[in-house]
């Protein structure tokens, strides 16, 4: 069925734009005014029990074969440790980028032999413990002047406190860094509007040097941390030596957002557990979730980047685990950190596109609290009148809050569009709330400012939500994706572990029209957050720029093998193999080694054709590589067991793909 036919059908059937009309009647099978095409479609619709709203949703999301999606969603892969790349509005999964977990299709960090394994090793614990999974939460796209530039992506890893850099020329992970001070993070990753800094906010406090301290010393010795990673676009890497951290009180720091425009240079992080509860239900204490939720207010953390870098330049840092840290005392004294009270177990802290407001949601408060950045600046200039037990200045709530808007139960995160609306996820209501912004957004909408306009039910238990280019200075406002934690009855049952449900909402119309138009099951981890970029802002390579390209260095590899250079050479126990791959053979096809040899194997894919990827599977050695057109890889491993092993290509690359193989023969020594 074609889009044209569907449009025809809607014209014939007088399709209504009313949303959320699951009870609407199915399209009648016979249509008196229609063409044959339309009646064919209406017959299908009748047979399948589709309503007019269903057909409208289908037409909005259908991307015909051979055409491309308008937007690309970069979603966290949750505890799969990966990052998902999804086309919109079709919601087709385009790629799962290997980040913190080995990914065999991409040859990503499988085994110990490859260079990608060494990138993953960059995130190993200080004692050398290898990590083979991660819990990703918040991807961040690189920005120029506050707008996505399509060059880089960053993503945090909550469970062990890591940050990764992904190059959007080839959608591969290039760097993984382990935080030297913390075993966890959460307000990560966010970037400043120029991507000079990648922000890694913490979550669970602990002594920053990794030592033991009794829980009775929680207030005295356990600490939180905010880490500022300096990103260098010229190298495409985080520069560890120019990075630093700020010590924070042992409250549980949560989501962060970087200021932009009027708030550029500021960082806002929510927190909970100002109570400094430490649990101990087994000793008769209130359980953690009750202890943490006692106080009416927690603290929005407000950081000043210029004051941080001035303190670092002035040498006002301590070295902890070899990493410069601005102490809590210095942060408080120099005004690097201020607090603003925030109500009832806050979660999200989101800066509006003009940078003028920060929207905070308390999970146990039906309101969102909107802070005014100019008022925060004035209050800081006037001097804080109160201080927390660690000496951090607390700004007066009523002085810095612009307004509170009642939106519904369990508000978590907020996103923005181009019509002057904000969208807040309501976990307990299982809904997306649309409400109006004031200030510079007032003229964009026709309704009164700061007012709830509409709620669309979602299915179910929404966590984050994300709008098209919603974190930039100029959101597009076309689509919203509700990232729902539970899917319950929405899909075929696939056993007791259910997929999450990304629901696509059309937010292009104003007022109360905001229908769900697609359900997309996510059967890999629990994605928390995502960002959506206009697809034409991305400029990825179709093939590597030159034959012999090393994706780890993003340059021509001096070890690349040219046709005619193939062969096996031996120097004592060191065997060097030089291979080329092209449809449909490996050269050489016979590699003879002995037990105890150390093998260095250079492999160059000579292909320059779009999509002509070859794989390299070597049984017995836990090796699988993906060599994309032009790619060079070098692997190194030791041979411990005799036998004959047939290596083969793992990508069905040609009619004679099954013949693309060779023999790795290990003789006894
Ligand atoms: Cu799941 Cu952003 Cu980690 Cu909220 S966080 S849902
Ligand atoms: Cu190369 Cu299959």
pLDDT digits over 371-387, tens only? Answer: 999 999 999 999 998 99
Same fold, 71-97+134-537 and 549-667: no
Residue 12 has pLDDT above 70, yes or no: no
Tokens of 271: 């927190």
Q: How far away, in angstroms, is 529 Cα from ligand 1 center?
A: 7
Question: Which three-class secondary structure state does DSSP give residue 402?
Answer: strand
CA of 197 to the centre of ligand 2 (A): 41
Distance 464 CA to ligand 1 centre (A): 6
* Ligand nearest to C-alpha 605: 2
For ligand 2, atom 1: residue with the closest CA: 614
Residue 131: pLDDT band by 50, 70, 90 thresholds?
very high
CA dist., res. 599 & res. 593, Å (int) = 8
Give the number of the atom of ligand 1 that is nearest the alpha carbon of residue 348.
Answer: 4
Q: Is the CB of 186 under 6 A from ligand 1?
A: yes
Which atom of ligand 1 lies closest to the CA of 528? 1
* pLDDT of res. 363: 86
pLDDT in tens, 393-408: 999 999 999 999 999 9
Which residues have CB under 6 Å of ligand 2? Answer: 614, 649, 651-653, 657, 660
Ligand closest to the CA atom of residue 586: 2
pLDDT band at residue 583 under the 50/70/90 scheme: very high
Residue nearest to atom 3 of ligand 1 (CA): 137
Distance CA 151, CA 168 (A): 5
Name the burial class of residue 601, with classes exposed (0-12), middle (13-18) and buried (19+) by CB atoms within 10 angstroms of its CB: buried
pLDDT given at position 15: 40
* For the CA of 158, the nearest atom of ligand 1: 3
Structure confidence at residue 364 as a pLDDT band (50, 70, 90): confident
- Count of all residues that appear for the chain in the document: 669
Res 35: pLDDT: 54
**pLDDT exceeding 90 applies to what percent of the chain?**
92
Distance from residue 287's CA to the centre of ligand 2 (Å):
57
Distance separating alpha carbons of residues 115 and 626, to the nearest angstrom? 12
Give residue 613 CA to ligand 2 midpoint distance, Å. 7
Pocket test for ligand 1, best of 77, 78, 137 (most atoms within 8 A of CB): 137
Query: Domain 549-667 belongs to what topology?
Result: Immunoglobulin-like (2.60.40)
Q: What pLDDT, on the 0 to 100 scale, is given for residue 1?
A: 38
CB of 255 closer than 6 angstroms to any ligand 1 atom = yes
How far apart are the CA of 213 and the centre of ligand 1, in A?
28
Give the model's pLDDT for residue 26.
Answer: 52
pLDDT band of 36, cuts 50, 70, 90? low
Computed over every residue of the chain, the mean pLDDT equals: 94
pLDDT digit string, tens, across residues 80-130: 999 999 999 999 999 999 999 999 999 999 999 999 999 999 999 999 999
Could you tell me if the CB of 137 is within 6 A of ligand 1? yes
Is residue 347 in contact with ligand 1, taking CB distance under 6 Å? yes
Ligand nearest to the CA of 603: 2
Range 224-249 average pLDDT: 98
**pLDDT tens figures, 450-494:** 999 999 999 999 999 999 999 999 999 999 999 999 999 999 999
Give, using CA atoms, the residue closest to atom 5 of ligand 1. 528
Residue 640 CB-density burial (10 A; 0-12 exposed, 13-18 middle, 19+ buried): exposed
Mutate to test the pocket of ligand 1, among 347, 363, 502 (most ligand atoms within 8 A of CB): 347
Confidence (pLDDT) at 3: 43
Q: What is the pLDDT at residue 599?
A: 98
pLDDT (0 to 100) of residue 178:
98
Ligand 1 atom index nearest CA of 425: 6
Cross-strand bridge partners of residue 238: 231
Full strand arrangement of the beta sheet holding 139-144: 139-144, 147-157, 162-167, 172-178
pLDDT for residue 653: 97
Ligand 1 atom closest to the CA of 137, numbered from 1: 3
* Residues with Cβ within 8 Å of residue 573, at least 6 apart in sequence: 596, 597, 598
The rounded distance, in Å, linking the Cα atoms of 88 and 479 is 9
Tens digit of each residue's pLDDT (9 = 90 or more) over 154-209: 999 999 999 999 999 999 999 999 999 999 999 999 999 999 999 999 999 999 99
Any idea of the CA torsion for 164, 477, 303, 327, to the nearest 10 degrees? -20
> Ligand 2: which atom is nearest the Cα of residue 652?
2
Domain residue spans in the chain?
A: 3-61, 71-97+134-537, 549-667
For 71-97+134-537, CATH number? 2.130.10.10
Atom of ligand 2 nearest to the CA of 651: 2
CB 284 within 8 A of CB 259: no
**Angstrom distance (rounded) from CA 564 to CA 516:** 58
- The whole-number pLDDT of residue 39 equals 76
Pick from 184, 471, 528, 530 the residue to mutate for probing ligand 1's pocket: most ligand atoms within 8 Å of its CB: 528
Q: What pLDDT is recorded for position 37?
A: 60
């Amino acid at each position: 069925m074609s889009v044209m036919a569907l449009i025809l059908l809607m014209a014939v059937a007088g399709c209504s734009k009313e949303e959320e009309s699951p009870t609407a009647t199915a399209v009648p099978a016979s249509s008196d005014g229609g063409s044959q095409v339309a009646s064919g479609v209406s017959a299908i619709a009748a047979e399948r029990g589709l309503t007019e709203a269903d057909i409208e949703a289908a037409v909005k999301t259908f991307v015909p074969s051979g055409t491309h999606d308008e937007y690309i969603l970069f979603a966290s892969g949750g505890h799969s440790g990966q990052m998902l790349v999804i086309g919109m509005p079709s919601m087709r999964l385009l790629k799962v980028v290997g980040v913190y977990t080995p990914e065999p299709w991409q040859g990503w960090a499988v085994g110990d032999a490859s260079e990608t394994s060494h990138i993953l090793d960059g995130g190993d614990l200080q004692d050398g413990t290898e990590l083979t999974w991660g819990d990703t939460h918040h991807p961040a796209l690189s920005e120029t002047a506050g707008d996505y530039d399509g060059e880089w992506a960053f993503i945090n890893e909550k469970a062990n406190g890591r940050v990764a850099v992904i190059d959007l020329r080839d959608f591969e992970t290039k760097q993984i860094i382990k935080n030297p001070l913390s075993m966890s993070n959460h307000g990560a990753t966010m970037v400043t509007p120029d991507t000079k800094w990648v922000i890694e906010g913490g979550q669970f406090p602990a002594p920053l040097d990794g030592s033991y301290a009794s829980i009775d010393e929680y207030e005295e010795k356990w600490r939180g941390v905010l880490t500022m990673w300096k990103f260098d676009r010229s190298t495409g890497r985080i520069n560890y030596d120019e990075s630093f951290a700020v010590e924070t009180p042992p409250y549980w720091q949560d989501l962060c957002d970087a200021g932009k425009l009027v708030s550029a240079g500021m960082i806002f992080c929510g927190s909970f557990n100002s109570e400094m509860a430490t649990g101990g239900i087994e000793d008769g204490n209130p359980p953690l979730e009750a202890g943490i939720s006692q106080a009416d207010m927690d603290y929005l953390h407000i950081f000043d980047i210029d004051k941080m870098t001035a303190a670092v330049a002035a040498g006002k840092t301590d070295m902890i685990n070899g990493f410069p840290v601005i102490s809590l005392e210095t942060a408080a004294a120099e005004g690097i950190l201020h607090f603003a009270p925030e109500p009832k177990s806050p979660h999200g802290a989101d800066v509006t596109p003009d940078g003028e407001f920060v929207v905070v949601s308390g999970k146990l408060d039906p309101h969102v609290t909107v802070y005014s950045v100019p008022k925060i600046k004035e209050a800081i200039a006037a001097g804080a009148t109160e201080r927390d037990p660690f000496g951090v200045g607390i700004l007066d709530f009523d002085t810095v809050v612009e307004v509170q808007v009642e939106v519904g139960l369990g508000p978590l995160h907020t996103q923005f569009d181009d019509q002057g609306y904000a969208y807040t996820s309501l976990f307990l209501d299982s809904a997306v709330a649309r409400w109006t912004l004031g200030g510079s957004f007032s003229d964009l909408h026709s309704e009164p400012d700061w007012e709830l306009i509409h709620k669309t039910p979602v299915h179910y238990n929404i966590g984050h939500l994300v709008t098209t280019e919603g974190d930039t200075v100029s959101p597009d406002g076309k689509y919203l994706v509700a990232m729902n934690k539970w899917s319950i009855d929405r899909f075929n049952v696939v056993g007791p572990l259910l997929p999450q449900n990304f629901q696509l909402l059309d937010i292009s119309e104003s007022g109360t029209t905001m229908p769900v138009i697609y359900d997309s099951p996510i059967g890999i981890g629990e994605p928390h957050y995502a960002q959506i970029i206009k697809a034409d802002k991305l400029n990825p390579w179709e093939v590597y720029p030159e034959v012999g390209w090393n994706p780890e260095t993003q340059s021509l590899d001096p070890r690349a093998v040219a046709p005619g250079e193939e062969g096996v050479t031996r120097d004592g126990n060191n065997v060097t193999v030089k291979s080329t791959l092209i449809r449909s053979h490996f050269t050489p096809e016979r590699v003879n080694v002995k037990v105890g040899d150390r093998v260095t194997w250079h492999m160059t894919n000579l292909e320059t054709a779009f999509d002509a990827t070859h794989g390299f599977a070597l049984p017995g050695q836990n090796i699988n590589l993906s060599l994309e057109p032009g790619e060079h890889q070098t692997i190194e491993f030791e041979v411990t067991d005799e036998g004959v092993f047939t290596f083969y290509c793992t990508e069905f690359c040609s009619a004679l793909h099954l013949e693309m193989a060779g023999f790795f023969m290990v003789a006894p020594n």
